[in-house]
Amino acid sequence: MADLLLNGHFMAHADSDDFGDLHISNAADTPMHPNAFDLTDAEKIEQITDHFAQIMNILGLDLDDDSLKGTPKRVAKMYVQEIFKGLNTQNKPAVTTFDNKYKYRRLVIERNIPLQSTCEHHFQPIFGVVHIAYIPNNKVIGLSKLNRIADFFARRPQVQERLTMQIAEELKRALQTDDVAVYIDAKHMCVQARGVEHHGASTITAEYSGKFLNEATKQEFLMAIHSKMPD
């Protein structure tokens, strides 16, 4: 076990469990091994089905029971085709941008985008909202594409800090501008359903770049996402 540097202070003998509980991530890319795409989705589902059946058997569950015998296959399909489909770059949404013919130069904000992800430390759900803003340069993007980009990166095992950065970096690439802001407010079931079991806690992360590093622009964005919708 190695010493861990946190906020300038060393914590002695931190193990892998400590890293998970401290919510530390040291890379913006999702950790993937070199052979991640050697198997087809069908092959992954088949293997996960077998392995999950073993887990259920170890827990003492009767896989001959009508209610349980289909569970391993259901879980495998859910992992590959639904909640972790963002691991496969073939599922990345096609992002179409348009020329900014009207020369719009103020904030474009898509707020309260529903977020569903999975904590990579305990494989527990993460639920919340994403707020995205950008200032157009030469390109604008269809609003629904902002939702699709956020959902793509959320559909994989994640830490919220990395998710925030991945969405921001993809937007900067697609829009060809650094003037991007991403703000996530989410609840983690690894906090609510286990460990401290604190049901009211939520986690906020934000990434600002370009003109959003200007305090006035940042505050305009924050005021907009926190304002109440008219009745």
Asked if residues 102 and 157 have their Cβ atoms less than 8 Å apart, the reply is: no
Choose the catalytic residue: 131, 158, 160, 170.
160
- Please identify which of the residues 23, 81, 122, 124 carries the catalytic annotation: 122
Distance CA 119, CA 99 (A): 37
- Nearest-angstrom CA–CA distance, 136 and 143: 13
- CA 214/CA 27 separation, integer angstroms: 26
119 is catalytic: yes
Question: How far apart, in whole angstroms, are the C-alpha atoms of residue 151 and residue 85?
Answer: 10
Would you call 160 a catalytic residue per the annotation? yes
Give catalytic status of residue 120 as yes or no: yes
State the catalytic residue, choosing from 110, 161, 190, 207: 190
Q: Residue 111: is it exposed, middle or buried by C-beta count within 10 angstroms (0-12/13-18/19+)?
A: middle
Contact 78, 105 (CB under 8 A): no
Of the residues 110, 158, 170, 188, only one is catalytic, namely: 188
Handedness of CA 180, 88, 194, 20 (dihedral sign): negative
188 catalytic residue (yes or no): yes
Q: Is 122 a catalytic residue?
A: yes
Residue from 119, 158, 161, 207 carrying the catalytic annotation: 119
Catalytic entry in 121, 131, 161, 192: 121
131 membership: H or E segment, kind and range: strand 125-134
190 tagged catalytic: yes
Which residue out of 120, 161, 170, 207 is catalytically annotated?
120
User: Which residues are identified as catalytic?
Assistant: 119-122, 160, 188, 190
